[in-house]
């Protein structure tokens, strides 16, 4: 997807209306039009980058700081009990729009939403997985 086709780039450029709740020279935050809960907000870099794993350190730092500050405001304004912060990275992880974005989802004690199911490692498997990851990290 090119920047000219990206819906988030169009929102950043003002070509598509949005309910912006934060904007600076690098980042914009706006309400998700298909919210999981009231106040569900998307935080996106203005510069097009497709995924979290492709983003540079500066972009990630800015998104994290804005997400924290906007998240605090969302929790207070929505009288939420908590906040999920999520990134879907890649199609298999549920990413639909390939422009990096953080989801800020207000949560409530009895909202009925469930996160990920939990599994278990087989005997000795956790050490094998650890070693595989460490090997790749050392190649860096």
Give me 39's structure tokens: 């106040």
The residues annotated with a catalytic role in the active site are: 101
Rg of the Cα trace of the chain?
17
Q: Position of tokens 């569900």?
A: 40
């Amino acid at each position: 997807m090119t920047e000219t086709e990206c819906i988030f780039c169009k929102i950043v450029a003002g070509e598509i209306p949005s309910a912006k709740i934060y904007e600076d020279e690098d980042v914009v935050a706006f309400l998700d039009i298909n919210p999981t809960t009231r106040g569900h907000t998307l935080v996106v870099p203005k510069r097009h980058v497709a995924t979290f794993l492709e983003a540079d350190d500066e972009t990630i730092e800015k998104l994290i700081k804005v997400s924290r500050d906007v998240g605090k405001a969302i929790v207070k304004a929505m009288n939420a009990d908590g906040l999920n912060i999520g990134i879907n990275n890649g199609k298999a992880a549920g990413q639909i729009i390939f422009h990096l974005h953080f989801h800020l989802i207000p949560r409530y004690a009895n909202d009925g939403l469930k996160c990920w199911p939990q599994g278990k490692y087989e005997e000795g498997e956790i050490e094998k997985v650890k070693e595989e990851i460490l090997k790749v990290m050392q190649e860096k």
